[in-house]
């Protein structure tokens, strides 16, 4: 299977280790990962902030960059949701027939990382080792957008050495919401405060999720408060093995 | 142009996207939900669900019904009892209370301790009594102003769930669905029984073999 | 439509959402009240919806019924008008708030009465009926406990179902003790803050108002087109009092509340109570058709209200907001509402549904911050008993806000310029690569130990509460190119 990695512009710039982890896990499972260099951004920020015409060139760029792959994997639930749900909508609203066809054909081939592992590749044990206390925050796009359900937890439970602890009120939003965190900073911070209280209450060393954007928000708060709790994309946990010095 | 024309004109303009030949049946409502959520013992479920609202529920055989009602009235220290027209006379017990009958003024009803009625139907799953102002129930004010409502439900009047009840009821009659005593959740979203409607509700279920 | 037409869809002088939210966020008492109340109701709702294993099918049926009705709204309203008229009722049509207020005022005047009792109703809140009646010398008494608390406290509602949700028991006791005397029977001596005692005080205060009222004003939860049956769903019995004891009943109902068939109630009488108060069934539901000789009001008027609904109907995406049955489930699950409360929304319709309904009723330019008052977390959509896709409508309205701003100004604003610049960078892998190098360098300049702390300027909104990692020196794409020099995609 030709698997292309859609790293997302945010991970590309801020969290390259997450992309490397995806490559590591998939190669360990015997797959070849390709990285189309023409890729950039899915346009989620533009779309969610109301700048739809500005998102259209990015929709087109995505369709062109990923035209030739059987499966497209991305370590971001919100970007996967953007491509699958909203690219067709934008193509319908602003695009030509050609773009509409390309998007309709391409969007369903996009899989969030845990979806690809569990649903497409049928794997829950990826041979990882991570001897730490971990709690999992289901981001809104994982939980209610893509409905990943138990998939991330099934993968985490199979990790050797892990002490997986449940996060209280896990399903409530962390308060990030993209530009919401800037436009409604005080409300965002109030929501963050409650999320951090719940994270701290678990006694975890690490909080993980399927979206680095939410994790940067949660981790930024935890760091400011000097809690000593780290954040990690769950791909990086799944990539860890006995040999790692983590 | 009347406001009616204005509103209807705006609606039609707003629905320009709806094909003119789209018939009302073109988008049928999926009705694959359950007709009933009740298990086998509907009467037992009704009793349990009414009691969940903190209403008092008693079951009685037809022979014991009158005595059961008498006991409930005596226990509530009733002095004035409203009995609507058409209430089965054989179920009205004698007692130390004064019996009030129509015509009654709001002031009379307000001062009355208890109203004794039948009902149109009971709904097991939701623990609801439905009144339709028919014989034995009286006009709506009768079951509203007295502070205590004692309602007699015959077992065969209990339907399983909401769909059966809606199918049974006459939309032309004034209907009141009663689920427990009056209540409010307006203070900190905590439920408190007893506001403007009757603050206590007693339900007597009459059936051949009381299921205890 | 202009928001200053005397309606409460948007409150005059309310600041935008972010500023209005600040007040609530800084009030620990309010935060506690909201957290407690919303947590209580969330648990109750989950318990009773979890009892029904066909909840999703019921939601489907409710959604389909509402969407279908809206697509043929004119037909169903005419059918309703006919059924109600045949049953002895009088149907009135109101294009806007002023029209509806005029109709109700004239109807009350014609009875010669100077006071009315009211059942809690969003439609009459929306049109500012109490204020309009007041100007005509008619006093309107709210009889729902929470509405009474709001009216006595000279306050504004902050929740659709429980307008006084922002008040706790101690505050309510204080309002009752201070204000009841001016409106009628004073609060009992030694009133405690026990909810039972407070409910008793409301019962005593309103009792003689119910008994002497000749005119009542209500809203409606539904009206059945085929039968002409109108219904009110309530808890306390104040609704029954108003619908039963007076001689004249005036019901003001939004045009979207019509349902085609009597059978449709079998769905909505399951969806509404379980979503709303989290009960299997609410204590009282009353239905009536026209007038019934010898029972209840002998004059019945039904006022059908547009007031921006047809403008909402015209938007094929936004239209779904009209399916709302006012259960409040979306408010109770909303993480933003839980922190800010309802007043921050500046409207009688707060919370997620308010964020999509208000801008549509008054025009996005009059409520431009509301579509942004959400993280798009989707909890509202999951909770909605009629499956209104609130996040979808939010992003749709955000685009409308942006387009409205674009149309109004000749020079793009800072945000528009930033978005345009972002597209220019992001549309090209080469420019993205250059920008990543610049970001890594810039990050290094402002960071200490690879962490960016508080920054001045526009970024402070982010950095005030959060550290940010400095961008790594090597982007993923740079790493890939370095480590895969001859790959097919390099």
Q: Which domain CATH number covers B158?
A: 3.40.50.10420
Contact C313 B14 (CB under 8 A): yes
Strand order in the sheet with B121-123: B158-159, B121-123, B128-131, B175-178, C284-289, C229-234, C222-224, C258-259
Of C71, C235, C264, the CB nearest to B22: C71
Asked if residue C79 belongs to a domain, the reply is yes
Burial of residue A193 (number of CB atoms within 10 Å: 0-12, 13-18, 19+): middle
Q: In 3D, which of A183, A216, A215 has the Cα closest to residue C374?
A: A183
How far is A199 from A222, CA to CA, in rounded Å? 9
Give the pairing of strands C229-234 and C222-224: antiparallel
Q: Of all helices (H) and strands (E), which one includes residue C170? A: helix C169-183
C335, C326 contact by CB (below 8 A):
no
Q: Who has greater pLDDT, A246 or C50?
A: C50
Res B97 pLDDT > 60? yes
Residues 6+ apart with CB under 8 A from C189: none
Asked if residue C372 belongs to a domain, the reply is no
How far is B197 from B182, CA to CA, in rounded Å? 5
CA-nearest residue to A189 within chain C is C465
pLDDT value for B211: 52
How far is C340 from C34, CA to CA, in rounded Å? 9
How far is B74 from C330, CA to CA, in rounded Å? 47
Contact C335 A35 (CB under 8 A): no
pLDDT tier, A128 (very low <50, low <70, confident <90, very high otherwise): very high
pLDDT tier, A242 (very low <50, low <70, confident <90, very high otherwise): confident
pLDDT tier, B185 (very low <50, low <70, confident <90, very high otherwise): confident
pLDDT value for C490: 40
For chain C, give the mean pLDDT. Answer: 94
Mean pLDDT calculated for residue range A197-202? 98
Summarize pLDDT for C101-156 with one digit per residue, the tens: 999 999 999 999 999 999 999 999 999 999 999 999 999 999 999 999 999 999 99
Asked if residue C351 belongs to a domain, the reply is no
- Chain C residues 87-106 with a CB less than 8 Å from chain A: none
pLDDT value for C6: 45
Residue C474 sits at the vertex; the CA angle it makes with C468 and C476, to the nearest 5 degrees, is 90
Summarize pLDDT for C314-356 with one digit per residue, the tens: 999 999 999 999 999 999 999 999 999 999 999 999 999 999 9
Summarize pLDDT for C178-198 with one digit per residue, the tens: 999 999 999 999 999 999 999
Q: In 3D, which of C116, C123, C118, C169 has the Cα closest to residue C138?
A: C116
Q: What residues of B are in contact with residue C51 (Cβ under 8 Å)?
A: 37
pLDDT tier, A5 (very low <50, low <70, confident <90, very high otherwise): very high
Asked if residue C261 belongs to a domain, the reply is yes
Domain boundary among C251, C285, C309: C309
pLDDT value for C484: 92
Residue for token pair 């008793």: C200
The number of angstroms, rounded, from the C-alpha of C146 to the middle of its chain's C-alpha atoms is: 16
Q: What is the CA radius of gyration of chain A?
A: 18
How far is B158 from B42, CA to CA, in rounded Å? 7
Size of interface A-C (CB pairs under 8 A): 189
Contact B184 C199 (CB under 8 A): yes
CA-nearest residue to A42 within chain C is C426
Q: In 3D, which of C285, C229, C328 has the Cα closest to residue B182?
A: C285
Which residue ranges make up each domain of chain A?
A: 3-120, 133-239
pLDDT tier, C4 (very low <50, low <70, confident <90, very high otherwise): very low
Q: In 3D, which of C81, C320, C71 has the Cα closest to residue B12?
A: C71
Read off φ and ψ for residue C474, nearest 5 degrees: -120, 120
pLDDT tier, C448 (very low <50, low <70, confident <90, very high otherwise): confident
Of A46, A175, A181, the CB nearest to C423: A46
Asked if residue C77 belongs to a domain, the reply is yes
Summarize pLDDT for A49-98 with one digit per residue, the tens: 999 999 999 999 999 999 989 999 999 999 999 999 999 999 999 999 99
pLDDT value for B107: 94
Contact C489 A34 (CB under 8 A): yes
Asked if residue B8 belongs to a domain, the reply is no
ipTM of the complex: 0.97
Q: What residues of C are in contact with residue A145 (Cβ under 8 Å)?
A: 378
Res B30 pLDDT > 90? yes
Res C462 pLDDT > 70? yes
Contact B197 C282 (CB under 8 A): no
Q: In 3D, which of A66, A8, A61 has the Cα closest to residue A233?
A: A8
First to last CA, chain B: 66
Q: In 3D, which of C59, A56, C68 has the Cα closest to residue B22?
A: C68
For chain B, give the mean pLDDT. Answer: 94
CA-nearest residue to C271 within chain B is B162
Burial of residue A115 (number of CB atoms within 10 Å: 0-12, 13-18, 19+): buried
Handedness of CA A74, A78, A83, A84 (dihedral sign): positive
How far is C277 from C259, CA to CA, in rounded Å? 22
How far is A138 from A146, CA to CA, in rounded Å? 11
Chain B: partners with 3+ C-beta pairs within 8 Å: C
User: What is the total count of domains within chain C?
Assistant: 2
Q: What residues of C are in contact with residue B19 (Cβ under 8 Å)?
A: none
Give the pairing of strands B190-193 and B183-187: antiparallel
> CB of C262 within 8 Å of any CB in chain B?
yes
Asked if residue C405 belongs to a domain, the reply is no
How far is A48 from A65, CA to CA, in rounded Å? 22
A75, A235 contact by CB (below 8 A):
yes
- B and A interact (at least 3 Cβ pairs within 8 A): no
| DSSP reduced 3-state for C375 | coil
Contact C398 A221 (CB under 8 A): no
How far is C85 from B114, CA to CA, in rounded Å? 36
CB neighbours (10 Å) of residue A227?
14
pLDDT value for B23: 79
CB neighbours (10 Å) of residue C232?
22
Enclosing domain of residue C41: 17-309
pLDDT value for C487: 52
Burial of residue B20 (number of CB atoms within 10 Å: 0-12, 13-18, 19+): exposed
pLDDT value for C444: 81
pLDDT tier, C409 (very low <50, low <70, confident <90, very high otherwise): confident
CB neighbours (10 Å) of residue C208?
12
- Chain C residues 396-425 with a CB less than 8 Å from chain B: none
Residues 6+ apart with CB under 8 A from B24: C68, C72, C75, C260
Runs of H (alpha helix) within C72-96: 73-86
Give percent helix, percent strand, percent coil of chain B, each to the nearest 5.
Answer: 30, 25, 50
How far is C381 from C323, CA to CA, in rounded Å? 13
Among A162-176, C4-18, C381-395, C442-456, the least confident range: C4-18
Interface test with A, best of C359, C392, C466, C486 (most A CBs within 10 A): C466
Give the dihedral of Cα atoms C470, C476, C479, C481; nearest 10 deg: -140
Asked if residue C273 belongs to a domain, the reply is yes
DSSP-assigned beta bridge partners for residue C233: C285
How far is A2 from C224, CA to CA, in rounded Å? 57
Asked if residue B36 belongs to a domain, the reply is no
pLDDT value for C228: 98
Domain boundary among C253, C283, C309: C309
User: What is the total count of domains within chain B?
Assistant: 1
DSSP C190: T
| DSSP reduced 3-state for B182 | coil
How far is C312 from C299, CA to CA, in rounded Å? 32
How far is A1 from A120, CA to CA, in rounded Å? 11
CB neighbours (10 Å) of residue B67?
12
The number of angstroms, rounded, from the C-alpha of B199 to the middle of its chain's C-alpha atoms is: 14
Report helix angle A212-224 to A185-201, nearest 10: 80
Res B191 pLDDT > 90? no
**Structure tokens, C288:** 């009536």
The number of angstroms, rounded, from the C-alpha of C448 to the middle of its chain's C-alpha atoms is: 46
Q: In 3D, which of C186, C131, C171 has the Cα closest to residue C348?
A: C131
Enclosing domain of residue B76: 42-206
Res C291 pLDDT > 60? yes
Domain at A133-239, CATH class: alpha beta
Largest CA distance in chain C: 92
Domain boundary among C290, C309, C328: C309
Of A86, A145, A217, the CB nearest to C378: A145
Asked if residue B70 belongs to a domain, the reply is yes
Contact C58 B33 (CB under 8 A): yes
Size of interface B-C (CB pairs under 8 A): 256
**Structure tokens, B116:** 């004794």
Shortest alpha-carbon distance between residue C177 and chain A (Å): 34
Chain A: partners with 3+ C-beta pairs within 8 Å: C
DSSP A86: I
| DSSP reduced 3-state for A134 | strand
Residue A101 sits at the vertex; the CA angle it makes with A99 and A105, to the nearest 5 degrees, is 115
Contact C423 A224 (CB under 8 A): no
């Amino acid at each position: 299977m030709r698997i292309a990695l859609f790293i997302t512009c945010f991970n590309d710039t801020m969290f390259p280790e997450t992309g490397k982890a995806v490559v590591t896990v998939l190669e360990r499972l015997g797959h070849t990962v390709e990285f189309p260099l023409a890729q950039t951004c899915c346009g989620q920020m533009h779309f969610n902030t109301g700048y739809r015409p500005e998102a259209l060139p990015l929709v087109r760029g995505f369709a062109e960059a990923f035209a030739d792959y059987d499966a497209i994997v991305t370590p971001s639930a919100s970007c996967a949701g953007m491509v699958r749900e909203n690219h067709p909508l934008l193509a319908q609203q602003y695009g030509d027939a050609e773009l509409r066809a390309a998007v309709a054909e391409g969007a369903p081939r996009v899989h969030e990382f845990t979806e690809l592992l569990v649903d497409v590749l049928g794997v829950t044990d990826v041979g990882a080792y991570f001897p730490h206390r971990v709690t999992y925050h289901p981001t809104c796009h994982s939980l209610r957008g893509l409905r990943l359900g138990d998939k991330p937890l099934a993968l985490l439970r199979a990790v050797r050495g892990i002490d997986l602890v449940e996060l209280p009120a896990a399903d409530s939003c962390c308060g990030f919401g993209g530009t919401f965190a800037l436009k409604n900073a005080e409300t965002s911070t109030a929501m963050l405060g409650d999320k951090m209280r719940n994270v701290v209450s678990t006694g975890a060393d690490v909080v993980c999720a399927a979206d680095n954007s939410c994790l940067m928000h949660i981790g930024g708060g935890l760091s400011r408060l000097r809690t000593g709790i780290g954040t990690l994309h769950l791909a990086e946990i799944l990539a860890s093995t006995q040999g790692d010095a983590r | 142009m009347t406001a009616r024309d204005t509103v209807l004109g705006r609606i039609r303009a707003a629905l320009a996207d709806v094909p003119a030949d789209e018939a009302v049946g073109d988008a049928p409502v999926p009705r694959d939900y359950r007709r009933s959520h009740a298990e086998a013992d509907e009467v037992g479920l009704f009793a349990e669900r009414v009691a969940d609202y903190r209403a008092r529920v008693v079951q009685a055989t037809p022979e014991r019904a009158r005595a059961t009602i008498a006991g409930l009235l005596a226990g509530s220290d009733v002095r004035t009892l409203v009995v609507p027209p058409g209430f089965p006379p054989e179920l009205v017990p004698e007692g130390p209370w004064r019996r009030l009958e129509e015509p009654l003024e709001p002031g009379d009803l307000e001062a009355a301790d208890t109203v004794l009625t039948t009902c149109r139907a009971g709904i097991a799953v939701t623990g609801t009594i439905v009144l339709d102002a028919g014989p034995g129930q009286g006009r709506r004010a009768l079951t509203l102003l007295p502070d205590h409502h004692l309602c007699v439900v015959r077992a065969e009047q209990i339907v399983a769930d909401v769909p059966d009840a809606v199918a049974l009821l006459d939309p032309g009659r004034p209907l009141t669905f009663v689920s427990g005593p009056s209540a409010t959740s307006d203070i900190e979203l905590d439920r408190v029984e007893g506001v403007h409607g009757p603050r206590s509700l007693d339900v007597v279920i009459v059936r051949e073999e009381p299921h205890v | 439509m202009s928001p200053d037409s005397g309606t409460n869809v948007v409150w005059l002088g309310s600041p935008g959402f972010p500023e209005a939210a600040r007040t609530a966020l800084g009030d620990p008492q309010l935060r506690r009240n909201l957290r407690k109340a919303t947590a209580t109701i969330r648990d109750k709702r989950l318990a009773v919806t979890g009892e029904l294993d066909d909840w999703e099918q019921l939601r489907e049926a409710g959604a389909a019924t509402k969407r279908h009705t809206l697509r043929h709204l004119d037909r169903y309203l005419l059918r309703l008008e006919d059924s109600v008229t045949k049953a002895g009722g009088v149907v009135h049509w109101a294009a806007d708030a002023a029209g509806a207020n005029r109709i109700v005022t004239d109807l009350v005047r014609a009875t010669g009465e100077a006071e009315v009792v009211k059942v809690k109703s969003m439609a009459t809140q929306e049109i500012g009926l109490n204020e309009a009646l007041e100007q005509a010398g008619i006093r309107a008494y709210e009889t729902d406990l929470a509405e009474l608390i709001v009216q006595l406290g000279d306050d504004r509602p902050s929740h659709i179902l429980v307008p006084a949700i922002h008040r706790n028991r101690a505050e309510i006791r204080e309002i009752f003790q201070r204000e009841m005397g001016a409106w009628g029977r004073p609060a009992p001596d030694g009133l405690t803050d026990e909810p039972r005692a407070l409910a008793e005080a409301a019962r005593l205060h309103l009792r003689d108002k119910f008994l002497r009222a000749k005119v009542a004003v209500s809203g409606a939860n539904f009206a059945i087109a085929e039968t002409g049956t109108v219904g009110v769903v309530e808890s306390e019995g104040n609704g029954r009092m108003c619908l039963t004891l007076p001689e004249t009943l005036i019901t003001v109902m939004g045009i979207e509340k019509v349902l085609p068939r009597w059978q449709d109630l079998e769905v909505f009488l399951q969806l509404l109570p379980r979503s709303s108060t989290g009960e299997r069934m609410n204590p009282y539901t009353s239905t009536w058709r026209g007038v019934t000789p010898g029972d209840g009001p002998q004059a019945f008027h039904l006022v059908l209200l547009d007031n921006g609904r047809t403008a909402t109907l015209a938007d094929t995406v936004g239209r779904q907001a009209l399916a709302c049955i006012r259960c409040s489930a979306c408010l109770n699950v909303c993480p933003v509402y839980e922190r800010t409360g309802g007043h921050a929304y500046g409207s009688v319709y707060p919370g997620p549904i308010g964020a999509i309904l208000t801008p549509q009723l008054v025009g996005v330019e009059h409520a431009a911050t509301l579509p942004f008052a959400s993280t798009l977390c989707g909890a509202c959509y999951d909770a909605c008993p009629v499956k209104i896709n609130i996040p979808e409508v939010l992003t749709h309205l955000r685009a409308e806000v942006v387009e409205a701003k674009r149309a109004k100004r000749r020079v793009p604003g800072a945000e528009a310029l930033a978005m345009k610049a972002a597209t220019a960078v992001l549309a090209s892998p080469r420019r993205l690569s250059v920008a990543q190098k610049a970001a890594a360098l810039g990050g290094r300049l402002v960071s200490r130990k690879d962490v960016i702390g508080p920054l001045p300027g526009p970024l402070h909104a982010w950095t005030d509460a959060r550290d940010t990692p400095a961008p790594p020196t090597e982007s993923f794409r740079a790493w890939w190119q370095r480590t895969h020099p001859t790959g097919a995609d390099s």
